[in-house]
Amino acid sequence: MPTEFTVLDVHDVPSLEEARRGKMDKLIKYELADGRRRYVRVPADGANEARIIEAVRKDLGELRNLAGKKFSA
């Protein structure tokens, strides 16, 4: 699993969390070294580089747990 990423874009968007209704998030589009592009959300209040890195690591951990698994419907 790649460990480097590049932030491609950042947008302010309304939060989707019920508990944060009326607040804003940063929607961060990032690209992995292999060219895959993904998104993470970070609360806008207090958003900083460390929180973005933490959110991406969490997202990649979830991807790692699901990548390659087969499911039947």
Beta bridge partners of 30: 7, 38
Model-level pTM?
0.83
Q: Report the C-alpha gap between 13 and 32 in whole angstroms.
A: 23
Domain ranges of the chain: 5-66
- Per-residue pLDDT reduced to its tens digit, 12-55: 999 999 999 999 999 999 999 999 999 999 999 989 999 999 99
Q: How confident is the model at residue 2 (pLDDT cuts 50, 70, 90)?
A: low
Q: Are 58 and 44 in contact (CB under 8 A)?
A: no
**Under DSSP, is residue 15 helix (H, G, I), strand (E, B) or coil?**
coil
Beta bridge partners of 5: 32
